[in-house]
Chain A
Amino acid sequence: MSAFDIGYTGLALSYLLLIPPLAVILWLRLPMVGQTLLSVARMTAQLLFVGFYLQVIFKLENPWLTMLWLATMITVADVTVLRGCGLRVKPFALALGVSLALGTAIPLAVFVGLLLRSPNLLDPRYVIPLAGMILGNCLRADIVGVKSFYASIRSSRVRYQQRIAYGADFQEAVRPFFKEACQNALTPTIAGMASIGLVALPGMMTGVILGGTSPAVAIKYQIAIMLAILCGTAITIFLAILLSLRVGFDDYGNLNLRVFREQ
């Protein structure tokens, strides 16, 4: 059994679901009609493009094409994180890119290689959707964590310098800010795990069930993907902050204010 195709008529009918939110927005005169319509249009166009592109990738099963797609996803995530953090893209792009790539690749390799035992580690049918889920969560964790780290040191510059003034070396001086940022980044993932299944059925599980698989199989996938997401977010936030320190601070260990987009 496979998922029932809702067809283009069904897809067109799904846009009727926009009536209630637009009615609320118009009734309350919220200044977000244009933004909502633009977002819906973008979502539609992007997903249609991705659907088409993925069909081609799945058909070709070319590892280079899969890697190119993954690299594109990571690059877009990289720029999105840095814009979301209020940091300049150029100085941090490499550090963040490496952290996102490793945060995605390590749990993905475990998932595809050890759990699915796929002989092809770059099988696009597994790699692209799983990478998307892990990377999406890494992106959110990085925005929260990296932003928290640099914003916190910037607003607590006196406290940071004071630690150095009383004998802390660089590692010791940044440690409480590092800890706080990692905690802020990991908390949503950990809290989400605690409530999953009770409050909401996650997207992957829903997708697998709609695809015709039994819920017993779906939960196994879901548990594994949740662990992969936690693994990926922990790796990426730890590396993102660690690797960005070289550009985030000057040679004297002082916060480099030039890395902020708004000084």
Chain B
Amino acid sequence: MPDIPPKIHIANFSLRFGQRRLFENFSLTVHTGEKVLLAGPSGCGKSSILASVAGFLQPDEGTIRVDGEVLTPATVWTIRRRLAYVPQTIDFGDRTVQAWVDEALAFRNNSGAPSIEGLVEELSALGLRNDILARRSSDMSGGERQRVALALGLFLKRPLLLVDEPSSALDAAAARALFQRLERVSGMTMLLVSHEHPERLTCVDRMVKVGEIE
């Protein structure tokens, strides 16, 4: 049986913003089906790792591989088709959730998306009612927007899910429901950034500490 490459393999990753070095020779391997938490103090660059895997930031040095494929300009769009990235800040313009979802499902890459009922189930599992689809972004709280974005990320059933601080704008009960849902996720590899205490995050298989260099 041929060796299956890790879902994500980050090697000798160095990243700096201006004079500030965030990472120096950082390495990380996430195997297929694993759920990994990136933990560390605020501003240490956890979110930058997710953004880099999605191709939104380029490391100064090092390589990122997804399914064994090195992330380069030639492969970035193919790799993006295999992942969903739920950023911490959600902005889908001043329109209804339904309009946003319809637009996202109309992307060529989402032509094989499951029926919309699945999305309603995801919204419900995250503690949101059906009527959220008719609400405008401007009438929603940051936590509701985050959960809608996560529901869509889960609904698309991509092999790789990158989630950045999904509970940052949620109360304790909503955060619990969210992490319970993530615990039930199967068939996906998940890289999660969260400020929650790792002991409360039973949805992950392991934690990787990320520390600031300077």
A interface with B by C-beta (< 8 Å)? 156, 158-159, 161-170, 172, 250-254
Q: Does B93 contact A (CB under 8 A)?
A: yes
Which residue from A158, A164, A168, A250 sits with its C-beta under 8 Å from B91?
A: A158
On whether the beta carbons of A169 and B55 are closer than 8 Å, the reply is no
Q: Does B73 contact A (CB under 8 A)?
A: yes
B interface with A by C-beta (< 8 Å)? 54-56, 58, 73, 76-77, 80-81, 84-87, 89-93, 104, 107-110, 149, 152-153, 156
**A250 — which chain B residues lie within 8 A by C-beta?**
58, 73
**B104 — which chain A residues lie within 8 A by C-beta?**
163, 166-168
On whether the beta carbons of B91 and A165 are closer than 8 Å, the reply is no
On whether the beta carbons of A166 and B107 are closer than 8 Å, the reply is yes
B109 nearest CB neighbor, chain A only: A167
Minimum CB–CB distance from A55 to chain B (whole Å) comes to 54
Q: How many A-B residue pairs have CB under 8 A?
A: 67
On whether the beta carbons of A165 and B92 are closer than 8 Å, the reply is no
**B108 — which chain A residues lie within 8 A by C-beta?**
167, 169, 172
Query: Are A167 and B156 CB-contacts (below 8 A) given A162-B90, A162-B91, A172-B107?
Result: yes
Offer 7 A-B interface pairs, CB within 8 angstroms, sorted by A: A162-B149, A165-B84, A165-B87, A166-B110, A167-B107, A169-B77, A251-B76
**A254 — which chain B residues lie within 8 A by C-beta?**
55-56
**B109 — which chain A residues lie within 8 A by C-beta?**
167-169
B55 nearest CB neighbor, chain A only: A252
On whether the beta carbons of A158 and B89 are closer than 8 Å, the reply is yes
A161 nearest CB neighbor, chain B only: B56
The docked-state distance in angstroms from the alpha carbon of A200 to that of B14 is 62
Known: A252-B76, A253-B55, A253-B76. 12 other contacts (CB 8 A): A156-B91, A159-B91, A162-B90, A164-B80, A166-B104, A167-B81, A167-B108, A168-B107, A169-B108, A169-B109, A250-B73, A254-B56
**A158 — which chain B residues lie within 8 A by C-beta?**
87, 89-91
